[in-house]
Amino acid sequence: MIASNERADYLLGVAGAWRCLFFATTSEGPLKWRLFILPDDCQSNVSNENGTLTKSSANKYLGVTPPISESFPTERDLEMTADLERTLYTADFFESDEEGVKRELVLGKLNALVREFVKEVGRQKHLPESLLGEVCGKIYTFGSYRLGVHAKGADIDTLCVAPQHVDRSDFFGLFYNMLEAEREVTELTKVSEAYVPVIKMKFDGISIDLLFARLNLAAIPDDLDLTDSGLLRSLDEKCILSLNGSRTTDEMLKLVPNISTFHVALRCIKLWAQRRGIYSNAMGYVAGVASALLTARICQLYPNAAASTVVTRLFKIYHQWQWPQPVYLKPIEDLPLQMKVWNPRIHVADRFHKMPVITPAYPSMCSTHNVTASTLRIMTEEFRRGAELMLKIEQRKALWADLFAKTDFFARHRNYFQILAVSESEEAHLIWSGFLGSKVRHLTPKLELEEYIDAAPPFCEGFELVVDAANLEQVRAAHYYVDEDDVPTPTSVPEPMTGESKKYYTMAFYVALIISPPDPARKGPRRVCLDGPINDFKTFVSSYEKLTPSMHLLIRDIKRENLPAYIFEGQARPPKKGRRSKPAEEGVGSPKRTRTGEISVDSSMSMSAGSLPTVESDATAAFCKN
């Protein structure tokens, strides 16, 4: 916990600087009130006609409140920071100088291609030859690479900025064809209909995500500053969204007091989040932008601190943070451009964000809109663990390596849902597994509503496996572990071989089921049916327009002791808590039995294109009293 004197300093520093907004919200129940605390210099904007929050006066500090402490590092702080940097290098987090040079060369080649592309579009649209040399486009980097904290082997987020004579169809047509012709470009794909349209590729082995934005300029000067909000006038939504990543990154770099401290602290937080299984925007956790914003805010509150101190305070503060109080780096800009800005007063959906971390560039957005109650619970637990470990590190009772220990997600919980994306071709697999991976988080809120389910957090990534099998039941069996002493169950015994074996491309996702403790006053077994949320999820994903007969969805419950071997690769399988003896009359197809306090879910389900979602067996969970 934050020391009492530190908390007092903080309260004194921000006393009178906060105002509150209360919002009445309903969710099929009684009226609920939610509190949003806004900085004082944003208060004048509450009464603005459009409700946006703006800065009313210039501050002498970075951020929306004064610093908590402006103290300089102690000898111990510097020692801990040096230890942290050594640990990061030991973890192989940094790329070599050769890899860094290679990235720069690749970006140079890509920029040259963009310039040639813009000129070629000009020729095709009959621009005067005298102007072709002046209408060049340009690429900008953003994200972790632009921030200077990219990990070894990480992709590069890039943005192609083009003048007004180039449109998006040119980018996904002519430029895509130019990339196809490049010998060094591999794994080229385009997602032109995405929320933020993107071309993905590997350029000489470097993974690149390339966005596109057309500005209302005749030419793109080399010194163009994309943080100029005037550039957004009359742009379409896709261009604004594409520009937002670069604008947010550049704003962030302007809003931290010490770039080198920010770099070290953010590298630490990124590695910690990855190792602890909470680094995934798609699954409802934090990712690159959100982790950078959270770290930058602590840098503002401790402008002269060493990186180790920033990390320590980050865990302490966010463990106690009163969500959904938002995290800002600066007051929200109010510009007359008629764009949607994060504002819970105006936009109903914004009031339901569990963990709002707001981007600084106009139009401000919530970088954590995917967070659910379950993932917030897991992240809060990890912040608490981090705060406790940092205290031990300060006292020389623990090492930085302990902070970065691999997550125990699959040892911590007893029950899981296994969601298998199965495809019959590699091309279909890329599409289907990518789509399902972006939708798994939608199952979590549905499970949270069920009685006796405290939380349902997903694991942060999927597990890929190519299976040689004759049918889907054998595919299912490949993702199930059976101890030789276990009694076989219907889900662990594949169907007999009925045809020739073929390759199935699979991706497995896991959602943990955290069961509420039993009520001592309640007698008898507790039962909950999970058919509803599972079938709702299947109906939801079955509407995918690219679903084909070669794509399948298999969902079942699975206990920790039956998790497949790939889950624990390089680790010991958690010991089973007790073992049941085999009853003489029990065999394949017999009902499952439950031990006291356990959950038993029989919910093996499958779905293929061309059919409505079906339930092969009851998704009914039986809970037995302690």
Q: Which residue has the tokens 């309260």?
A: 11
Beta bridge partner(s), residue 553: 421, 607
Q: Does 156 carry a binding-site annotation?
A: yes
- Rounded Cα distance between 166 and 188, Å, is 21
Name the pLDDT band for 495 (thresholds 50, 70, 90). Answer: low
- Rounded Cα distance between 214 and 137, Å, is 9
Helix (H) or strand (E) holding 274: helix 259-275
- Residue 497: per-residue pLDDT: 54
Helix (H) or strand (E) holding 209: strand 206-214
Q: Does 142 carry a binding-site annotation?
A: yes
* CA-based nearest residue to 128, from 214, 220, 218: 218
- Mean pLDDT (the chain) is 82
Name the pLDDT band for 274 (thresholds 50, 70, 90). Answer: very high
- Rounded Cα distance between 543 and 549, Å, is 13
- Residue 334: per-residue pLDDT: 81
Q: Does 118 carry a binding-site annotation?
A: no
Q: Does 47 carry a binding-site annotation?
A: no
- Residue 590: per-residue pLDDT: 30
Residue 309 CB partners (closer than 8 Å, separation 6+)? 73, 77, 302
Query: What is the average pLDDT across 357-385?
Result: 96
- Rounded Cα distance between 201 and 240, Å, is 22
Q: Which domains does the chain have, with CATH numbers?
A: 4-90+273-403 (1.10.1410.10), 97-251 (3.30.460.10), 409-623 (3.30.70.590)
For the beta carbon of residue 59, count every other beta carbon within 10 angstroms: 14
Going 13 to 15 to 21 to 22, the CA torsion angle's sign is positive
* CA-based nearest residue to 149, from 159, 160, 157: 157
- Residue 3: per-residue pLDDT: 47
- Rounded Cα distance between 606 and 201, Å, is 33
Q: Is the pLDDT of residue 438 over 70?
A: yes
Q: Does 222 carry a binding-site annotation?
A: no
Q: Does 618 carry a binding-site annotation?
A: no
Helix (H) or strand (E) holding 200: strand 198-203
Q: Is the pLDDT of residue 606 over 90?
A: no
Q: Which residue has the tokens 């632009």?
A: 146
CA distances from 109 to 6, 43, 188, 584 (A): 51, 48, 16, 71
The model's pTM: 0.81
- Residue 59: per-residue pLDDT: 60
Q: Is the pLDDT of residue 36 over 50?
A: no
pLDDT (tens digit, 9 = 90+) per residue, 246-257? Answer: 999 999 999 999
Q: Is the pLDDT of residue 500 over 50?
A: yes
Contact by Cβ (8 Å): 67, 317: no
**Among 149-163, 530-544, 582-596, the least confident range:** 582-596
- Rounded Cα distance between 446 and 210, Å, is 34
* CA-based nearest residue to 48, from 362, 326, 336: 336
Query: What is the average pLDDT across 177-182?
Result: 96
**Both tokens assigned to 233:** 């006038």
Read off the DSSP letter of residue 57. S
Q: Is the pLDDT of residue 209 over 50?
A: yes
pLDDT (tens digit, 9 = 90+) per residue, 143-168? Answer: 999 999 998 888 999 999 999 999 99
- Rounded Cα distance between 205 and 187, Å, is 10
- Rounded Cα distance between 76 and 554, Å, is 53
Beta bridge partner(s), residue 208: 156, 201
Q: Does 41 carry a binding-site annotation?
A: no
Query: What is the average pLDDT across 135-142?
Result: 90
Q: Is the pLDDT of residue 379 over 90?
A: yes
- Residue 620: per-residue pLDDT: 32
- Residue 613: per-residue pLDDT: 34
Q: Is the pLDDT of residue 412 over 70?
A: yes
Q: Is the pLDDT of residue 43 over 80?
A: no
Positions annotated as catalytic residues are: 144, 155, 157, 209, 270, 279
What is the number of H-type helices and E-type strands within the chain?
Answer: 19, 17
Contact by Cβ (8 Å): 505, 428: yes
Q: Does 133 carry a binding-site annotation?
A: no
